[in-house]
């Protein structure tokens, strides 16, 4: 098992990859796009806000910023469509026939993202539901929190789940034939008795994992913040486990962030490639991946993973 990290624009980096060279994509993309533009990232890091909502502290605990997708203009939405059209085309080229794409998104924008993946020639397979309580939604009307009638009104529901789009690159013939030729097309079962399901119990990211990533920040003092969209290792290992039906191949995360997908693959004994544009996030990933991979979850204790970890494979075998 091994992993490779690349610093740069994923669309440019992916042009260097051969066709049909990647077995699966597991990623949490910049799904509003505009919030991860350099100017807005710097505002978020400085606590200024902008498109990022900086929640107040709750019981002394500092809460993570959230992008405000209700502020997106039609121009922002078109930028998002163009971005995911390019993304869909890029990953369709590098994926092996039958390779799956696991893509985190949001209730407000997943239809926009899904349309572009459809146009790129990928086939939609499901929407996975990650159970998690978030701070998104549930707010009273802005500026009218104390209004006697509006106190009992919310602008939108409080969000208790996160959608993950599941897509697959089409293939010819039967699944067993594709598995034999490309090692892709299906999803690995949780066990011989239980298949992979579309209800994910990832929950909230543990504080221990947030601390690992915060401490991996290349800055110091108040600049040390965890990635705003850090996903728990239990969730990412569940997705990585499902993504390689025969436990062979390479997992790609083209929007690596602080490296949670790559750490999950490493913990399971899978090969992975991570790409990240932002220099700070890239350095965080370099520092955080080895420590995140050491965290224990139930996924890597499964029998098939235990046996897998006794084997050794080279990343070059799957290119």
Domain edges within the chain: 3-318
Task: Label each residue of 9-56 as H, E or C.
Answer: CHHHHHCCCCCCCEEEEEECCCCCCHHHCHHHHHHHHCCCCCCEECCC
| CATH code for residues 3-318 | 3.40.50.150
Cα torsion 206, 207, 212, 216 to 10°: value is 120
pLDDT at 288: 96
> How confident is the model over 276-300, as a mean pLDDT?
95
Confidence of residue 319 (pLDDT cuts 50, 70, 90): very low
Locate tokens 């390019």: which residue?
A: 86
Q: Contact 196/190 with Cβ under 8 angstroms?
A: yes
Helical segments of 216-308, H only: 233-243, 260-268, 279-293, 303-308
Q: What are phi and psi of 115, to 5 degrees?
A: -60, -40
pLDDT at 226: 72
Tokens representing 163? 């959608």
Tokens representing 102? 């696991």
Ranges 1-10, 34-43, 245-254, 297-306: which has the least confidence: 34-43
Query: What's the chain's average pLDDT?
Result: 86
- The rounded distance, in Å, linking the Cα atoms of 107 and 239 is 20
Task: Indicate whether 268 pLDDT > 50.
Answer: yes
Q: What are phi and psi of 24, to 5 degrees?
A: -160, 155
pTM score, two decimals? 0.85
> How confident is the model over 193-214, as a mean pLDDT?
91
Convert the pLDDT of each residue in 109-118 to its tens digit: 899 999 999 9
Q: Contact 217/225 with Cβ under 8 angstroms?
A: yes
Confidence of residue 169 (pLDDT cuts 50, 70, 90): very high
């Amino acid at each position: 098992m091994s992993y490779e990290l690349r610093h740069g624009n994923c669309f440019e980096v992916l042009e260097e990859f051969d066709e049909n060279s990647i077995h699966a994509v597991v990623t949490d993309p910049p799904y509003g796009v505009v919030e991860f533009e350099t100017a807005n990232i710097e505002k978020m890091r400085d606590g200024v806000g902008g498109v990022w909502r900086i929640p107040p502290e709750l019981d002394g605990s500092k809460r993570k910023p959230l992008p405000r997708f209700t502020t997106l203009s039609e121009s922002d939405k078109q930028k998002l469509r163009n971005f995911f059209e390019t993304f869909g085309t890029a990953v369709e080229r590098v994926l092996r026939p039958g390779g799956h794409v696991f893509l985190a998104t949001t209730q407000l924008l997943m239809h926009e993202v899904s349309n572009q993946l459809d146009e790129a020639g990928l086939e939609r397979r499901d929407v996975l539901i990650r159970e998690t309580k978030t701070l998104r939604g549930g707010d009273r009307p802005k500026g009218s929190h104390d209004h006697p009638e509006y106190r009992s009104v919310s602008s939108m529901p409080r969000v208790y789940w996160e959608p993950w789009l599941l897509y697959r690159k089409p293939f010819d013939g039967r699944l067993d034939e594709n598995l034999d030729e490309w090692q892709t097309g299906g999803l690995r079962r949780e066990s011989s008795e239980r298949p992979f399901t579309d209800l994910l119990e990832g929950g909230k990211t543990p504080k221990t994992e947030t601390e690992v990533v915060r401490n991996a920040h290349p800055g110091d003092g108040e600049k040390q913040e965890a990635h705003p969209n850090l996903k728990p290792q239990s969730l990412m290992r569940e997705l990585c486990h499902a993504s390689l039906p025969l436990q062979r191949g390479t997992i790609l995360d083209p929007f690596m962030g602080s490296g949670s997908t790559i750490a999950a693959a490493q913990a399971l004994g899978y090969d992975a490639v991570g790409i990240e544009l932002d220099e700070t996030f890239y350095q965080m990933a370099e520092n955080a991946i080895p420590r995140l991979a050491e965290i224990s979850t139930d996924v890597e204790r499964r029998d098939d993973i235990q046996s897998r970890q006794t084997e050794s494979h080279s990343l070059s075998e799957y290119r």
